[in-house]
Structure 1
Amino acid sequence: MVERGPTVYLSGLREKHFGELFLNAYNISESSSATQTSSSQPASSGLGLSEEGLKHIARYIEYFESRYNDIWLVFHHEGVSLSKLMYTAEEAENSSAGEKAEEASHGQILRPSKWWTWLKTTESGKEEMRRIIWQLLLGLKACHDRNITHRDIKPENMVICIEDIKSGRCLKGVPNGDHNFKTKMRIIDFGSALDEYTMKHLYGSTGPSGAEQTHDYAPPEAIMNSSWHHGPTSLTLKYDMWSVGVVMLEMILGSPNVFEISSVTRALLDQHIRGWSENFKELAYKLRSLMEMCILIPGSSLKHGGASAKQGGISLASWKCSEEFFAEQIKSRDPLKIGFPNVWALRLVRGLLQWYPEDRVTVDEALQHPYFQPPPSS
């Protein structure tokens, strides 16, 4: 059920719009596939991947409104979120009675799960990670081929069914080594998604805003520029590609705090931003993290006609932004001290986490990346 209120109501209508759009596309795809099978006509490989991607979108069933104008959206049950698989929730330990209420309001602390450790430390786990990202990209191809930007890709919106081969049902828990299973990932929650129709009719008079975004997975252009979505569709779609890069890093680090600076760096930075609002402070922390990860490289903005990020001829970054440096950065933050599974995963992440959207890889380029050679089994 979608609660009442104009903003939430429009979000529900967007869910309905995209739910019906993908349901119709899937039905047409199945009908076309049946026709091609009966006539023995080969399907084009490009179209095949796009239509395969429809199998990685949440399956919409129906929509109705109550007499109180509550929206009810009905979807198939698709499993559990990637976030729930990756993390184990623990109660926060309170150091004093006075902190109890505040700690409780912050909820639970997330720790990497045993499943995540398996994902990182075994060959089958590494293949599973590759398969999940591959399926995410297939789902996004189904979106991007229809000029749809999801705008909220994150582990909470990636639902995974660990399907028992014998019964075809989603297992309730993580299977042991004796279980014969396969995984299927589906993208959910299109309440923040964009296409030409929703931009004109389902975002109200003010249009899309940062309120529908999840800040930690939003690209620089969406954080720095509120009118970013007025650009060409080819660049708008790149929003999702940044989010995929963040998801990959989260899976590698076992932490939702991908862009986090050390307490020492934060303290040093605070000396220079006293008096700033909390929003601007958070932006400063984020930019510093992007610099440390060599995503925002001081002095490089001249390439795109911007001002150089040097002050008095001294670069704001004293490190070399090489592959080796980036790999060591990630390895040092990985609780298992493993880092990237291979150099191709590293290069794909760097291609996804480009500061300028025009420099980011497209979904088709990502699917053809060496990291996915040979393509993962479905």
Structure 2
Amino acid sequence: MRRTEYTCLILRDNALISLGMLLLENMVICFEDEDTGRCSMESPSGDKSTHIKMRIIDFGSAIDEFTMKHLYGPNGPSRFEQTSEYSPPEALLNASWFQGATSITMKYDMWSVGVVILELILGSPHVFQLSARTHALLDQHLEGWNEGTKELAYKLRSFMEMCILIPGSSLKHHRSRNKKDLVGVWPASWKCSEEYFSHQVKSRDPLKLGFPNVWALRLVRQLLVWEPEERLSVDDALQHPYFQPPPKN
């Protein structure tokens, strides 16, 4: 067996730190067998040097009155001052997203929590990735577009594959297109049921384990919602069934 090291990123706000600590306590941590690929909760026998490291790192959008005045200025943080892997749709598509109410701008960090959970499950920082085939098919439709627009299109497509849909998106909006054009470009299921989302995550997990239970799946889905108003708040997330003790018999 080889040693597996996990790194978890925790948010700066006190309530978000509480949420992060709950994630540490509840996420399944295991050792992968080099030969079988199986996941074991036991540390490798005889290897006393094996241990798991977790680093707590300041992580968040860091938008408040002080940073707006002394760091970002009236124009807010640029895309280069944000980490694109953790940026929600509103930050990718709206340069003035930070001007909203605090209760809404804080949802930026809740999206980031959802991404971190997927990273823990998949064991990779590359949560939103496209297959080479899908990438090539998209390139046919994006020929002549500038690189910035292409990158945005790739990101939005990767969101779709993980059941993060633009409000109102459905197959009926594309009925006028030739069905052959949709093959490999549009998601296999626009209904995006729990079963479909679970399959998407499990198929990308090297250990083919996916979510530990349905509550973990539902927590992530409620964090990775397109509209920030519809995402869980940190208080709602802390009360989510995933973090509650199982009922006593």
> What TM-score does the superposition give when structure 2 sets the normalisation length?
0.73
1:234 aligned onto 2:103: yes
Larger-Rg structure: 1
Q: What code does the residue aligned with 1:253 have?
A: L
1 CA distance for matches of 2:242 and 2:16?
A: 22
* In structure 1, distance between residues paired with 2:204 and 2:135: 16
Q: Does 1:140 align with 2:13?
A: yes
Aligned to 2:173: 310
Q: Which residue of 1 aligns with 2:56?
A: 186
Query: How far, CA to CA, are the matches of 1:328 and 1:184 in structure 2?
Result: 28
Q: Name the structure 1 match of 2:230.
A: 359
Query: Displacement, 1:374?
Result: 2.6
| Alpha-carbon shift at residue 208 of structure 1 (Å) | 2.1
Q: CA shift at 1:196, angstroms?
A: 1.5
Q: Choose from 131, 140, 150 the match for 1:281.
A: 150
| Structure 1 residue 183 displacement after superposition | 7.3
Describe how 1:168-317 pairs up with structure 2 within 5 A. Answer: 186-188=56-58, 193-204=62-73, 206-297=75-166, 299-300=168-169, 310-313=173-176, 316-317=186-187
Structure-1 separation of matches of 2:59 and 2:100: 24
**Residue 348 (1) aligns with residue 219 (2):** yes
Identity %: 60
Describe the SS at the equivalent of 1:186.
coil
Structure-2 separation of matches of 1:312 and 1:237: 37
Q: What displacement does 1:370 show? A: 1.5
* TM superposition shift of 1:205: 5.0
Which secondary structure state, in structure 1, belongs to the residue aligned with residue 129 of structure 2? coil
Deviations 1:59-106 (A, max 9, x none): xxxxxxxxxxxxxxxxxxxxxxxxxxxxxxxxxxxxxxxxxxxxxxxx
Q: Which 5+ residue runs of structure 2 have no aligned equivalent?
A: 21-42
In the aligned structure 2, how far is the partner of 1:195 from the partner of 1:298? 28
CA contact (8 A) 2:119 2:125 kept: yes
Q: How has the CA–CA distance of structure 1 residues 182 and 370 changed in structure 2, closer, same or farther, with 3 Å as cutoff?
A: farther
User: Aligned AA for 2:132?
Assistant: S
Alpha-carbon offset, residue 372 of structure 1: 1.2
Q: Is the 8 A contact 2:15 2:235 kept in 1?
A: no
SS at structure 1 position matched to 2:4:
helix
Aligned positions of 1:87-126 closer than 5 A:
114-115=3-4
- Offset, 1:365: 1.2
Of 330, 345, 358, the residue aligned with 2:201 is 330
Q: Structure 1 residues 347 and 143, CA, compared in 2 at 3 Å: closer, same or farther? A: closer
Q: Write out per-residue CA displacement over residues 29-70 of structure 1, whole angstroms, 9 at most, x where no aligned residue.
A: xxxxxxxxxxxxxxxxxxxxxxxxxxxxxxxxxxxxxxxxxx
Q: 1:328 to 1:317 in 2, by over 3 A?
A: closer
> CA separation of 1:205/1:233 partners in 2, compared to 1, >3 Å: closer, same or farther?
closer
Amino acid aligned to 2:236: E
Q: Flag the 1:312–1:176 CA change in 2: closer, same or farther, 3 A.
A: closer
Q: Which amino acid aligns with 1:340?
A: F
Q: Deviations over 1:185-233 (max 9, x none)?
A: 533267x611112213332353322121011110000010100000111
**Secondary structure of the residue that 1:114 maps to in structure 2?**
coil
Describe the shift of the 1:297–1:226 C-alpha distance in structure 2 as closer, same or farther (beyond 3 A).
Answer: closer
Structure with the larger RCO, 1 or 2 (CA within 8 Å, 6+ apart): 2
Q: Cα 1:204–1:267, aligned 2, differ >3 Å: closer, same or farther?
A: same
Q: 1:236 to 1:298 in 2, by over 3 A?
A: closer
Structure 2 CA distance for aligned equivalents of residues 229 and 366 of structure 1 = 22
Q: What code does the residue aligned with 1:234 have?
A: S
- Could you say what secondary structure the match of 1:354 adopts? coil
Q: Structure 1 residues 322 and 274 mapped into 2: Cα distance closer, same or farther (>3 Å)?
A: same
Change (3 A) 1:300 1:267: closer
User: 2: distance between equivalents of 1:298 and 1:264?
Assistant: 26
The CA deviation at 1:340 is 0.9
- Checking the alignment, whether the CA contact within 8 Å between 2:167 and 2:226 is kept in structure 1 is no
Q: Counterpart amino acid of 2:87?
A: A
Give the root-mean-square deviation of aligned CA atoms.
3.4
Contact preservation (8 Å) 1:141, 1:364: no
Q: Which residue is equivalent to 1:13?
A: none
